[in-house]
Amino acid sequence: MIGRAVVKWGIISLVVMIVGRVLVTSLVAFWKAMNPPKPEPPTVGFGVLPNIVFDKAFSKSPASYSLELPTGKFPAFPDRAKVFLYLQASPSLLADQEAKVIANKYDFVFAPEIVSDDVYRWTKSLPLISTFEMDINTHQFQLDTDFMNRPELLAKPNLPDGFQAVQVVKQFLSSTGLLPADVATSSGDIVYQKLIGRELKTAVSVSDAEFIEVDINRAPIDNVYPMYTPYNGRGIIHAIITGGLSGADSIVQLEYNYFPTFPGLIHTYPLRSIQSAWEILQAGEGYVAPEFTGQKAVIRSVNLGYFDDFSFQPYLQPIYVFEGDDSFIGYVPAVSAEFILRPQ
C-alpha cells in the first residue's frame, strides 16, 4: 500500500511540475510580449553630424506639391537608421605610381598630362580616341571617347543583354581593383539608348537601341534601403556600352565616383518624422533632382534611402525620398534636427 501511494503521488507531482512549468513559461512569454523591453537608444557615436550638402544649383522648384499616396497616408518608418563614416583619401607618395598602374591596365601607356596636383589625364587613339582623367588620391575617374563621331559603331550593333552589360562594367573595374564588395553585389540598372544628333535618347525598343546605359550603386543598406545620387536614376558608376566593340573596348564612356566607408564603424541616429520631412520639402528646403519636367509635384510614393554624392561628404546619411509624376524625385535629410549641425 505504501509503495503504491508513493508511486501515485510521485506521478501526480511530476504531472503538476510539468504543467506548472509550461504554465509559468507561457505566462512569462505572454508578459514579455505585452511588456517588451525598451530598445537601446541610438548610439549617435559620431556626435552632431554635418548637414547633407545638396547642390541647389541643379535643384528644381515646383510651383506646388500634392500628396497622392496609394493608401492616402504616409508609410511607417523606423525611429532610427544607420550612419556610416566615409574614408577620406589623403595624399600619398605612392598615389602617382598607383594611378599610372591603373591607367596602364586600361592601355593608357603614355605619360599623363598633369592637370593639377591631384588630377592626371591620359590619352590614346585606339580603338577609339579616348581620354582617361583620374583623381590620383580618391581614384575617381572619367573615361571618354569620340564614339559619337564613329558611325561604324551604330551599324548592326551586337548589344549584350542587361546582365551581360553590367558584368562588362564590373569586370572592367575588377581588373584594376576598383570593384568594392558593396558594388560587386549590386544588380545595377540598364537603359537602352539611341543616338539622335549628338545626344543619347531612350530607345523606343530593344531592337531600335544602339547603346546601353549602365548605372550601378552600392548595394542597399541591410538589403532594404537603396542609394540615391544627385541625378534621378544615375549611379555612382555610370557607363555607356556599344555593341560595335567587344569586351572592355565596348565601354565608350564611364564615370566612377565611389567613396569607401570605414569598415565596421557604424552608428545609429534618430530620424525626424516623415510629416516633418514633408513640410521641409514643401517649404523648398529639400532637394529636387533636375530631371523633373513638370510644374506641379504630384507625390506617389515615399521611401527611406541613403544619399551617395558624386563629391566627398564626411558621412553616408539616410534621406526621405519623395517620388512622383514627371520624373519627380525629392530628398530631405532624415536624421533628427537635434543631431544636425546648424548653419552659422
Mean pLDDT by 10 residues, the chain (344 residues): 60 65 62 64 96 88 93 94 94 93 96 96 96 97 95 80 95 97 95 90 89 97 97 96 92 97 94 97 94 94 98 97 96 97 73
> Quick one: DSSP state of residue 95?
H
pLDDT at position 151 is 85
pLDDT at position 98 is 96
Calculate ∠ Cα 326-328-332, nearest 5°. 170
Q: Count helices and strands (H / E) in the chain.
A: 5, 17
Separation in Å, CA 20 to CA 7, 9, 13, 35, 105 = 20, 16, 10, 22, 73
Domains and CATH numbers, the chain: 64-86+263-339 (2.40.128), 95-258 (no CATH)
Overall residue count recorded for the chain in this entry: 344
CA–CA separation, 192 vs 268, rounded Å?
39
**DSSP helix/strand/coil, 97:** helix
pLDDT at position 123 is 98
In b/e form, how buried is each residue of 266-301, taking b as 16+ CB within 10 angstroms?
bbbbbbbebeebbebbbeeebbbbeebeeeebebee
Q: Is 14 exposed, middle or buried (0-12, 13-18, 19+ CB in 10 A)?
A: exposed
pLDDT at position 59 is 86
CA–CA separation, 172 vs 155, rounded Å?
24
- pTM value is 0.87
Grid cell in block for residue 145: 571617347
- Report the run of H or E that residue 300 belongs to, with start and end: strand 296-307
